[in-house]
Structure 1
Amino acid sequence: MALTPEDVSRIAHLARLELSPAEAQAMLGDLNGFFRIVEQMSAVDTAGVEPLYTPLSAVQAVQLRLREDVVTEGNEREANQASAPSLEDGLFLVPKVIE
């Protein structure tokens, strides 16, 4: 997938970037280089490869130190909402900002 200069202009517009023609040309080369790398990576057959939970597990045995999944804090909703100017059914009410 190769990008065109028009694609770079559109991306720059969406990102609210003002690029000079030289910067746009350099960005085009960088983005196309990035997409070439992604295409090369996508072409690699990864069938049967186990995912790594940490990069260290590729070179040494790593024991995960997981804690028990238990609740450590109680429900503090009322205390947290005590200073709210407006609540309804346990939810914060905010002014409408979109018409």
Structure 2
Amino acid sequence: MSEITPERVAHLASLARIALTDDEIEQLTGELGAIVDAVATVQRVATPDVPATSHPIPLTGGMRPDEVGQTLTTEQALAGAPDHDGSRFRVTAILGEEQ
């Protein structure tokens, strides 16, 4: 069992300047205790003969070579645009900027 107590949770909350109700302190005490217990379990299992890993199975094939493919013409790209000037998309000004 972890050493997470309601008093410790309240102290950590005050250090972080987080206002917690008594119900929230009670809930977080249980949740943080479960997290600390889970970490302790992993630490007992993680021995020097067990290699560190980020995934349970090796990841392969995540990248492919870049290859030039067919691209849209300007007319095709602008065909579905709500507004354009023939060569560019036209959008409304934002953040008070003017043209």
TM-score (norm 2): 0.51
Correspondence 1:3 to 2:8: no
Aligned residue in 2 for 1:39: 40
Q: Residues 67-95 of structure 1, C-alpha deviation per residue, up to 9 Å, x if partnerless?
A: xxxxxxxxxxxxxxxxxxxxxxxxxxxxx
Aligned residue in 2 for 1:55: 55
For 1:44-83, list aligned pairs within 5 A: 44-52=45-53, 55=55, 58-59=57-58
Identity among equivalent pairs (%): 26
CA, structure 1 residues 43+33, in 2 after alignment: closer, same or farther (shift >3 Å)?
Answer: same
Aligned residue in 1 for 2:96: none
CA-CA distance at 1:46 after TM superposition? 2.7
Query: How many residue pairs are counted as aligned between the two chains?
Result: 63
CA-CA distance at 1:2 after TM superposition? 1.6
Higher strand share: 1
Aligned residue in 2 for 1:72: none
Structure 1 unpaired stretches of 5+: 65-99
CA-CA distance at 1:62 after TM superposition? 6.7
Aligned residue in 2 for 1:80: none
Aligned residue in 1 for 2:88: none
Q: Distance in 2 between matches of 1:10 and 1:34?
A: 18
CA-CA distance at 1:47 after TM superposition? 2.2
CA-CA distance at 1:6 after TM superposition? 1.1
RMSD: 2.7
Q: Which has the larger radius of gyration?
A: 2
TM-score (norm 1): 0.51
CA, structure 1 residues 48+62, in 2 after alignment: closer, same or farther (shift >3 Å)?
Answer: farther
Structure 2 unpaired stretches of 5+: 64-99
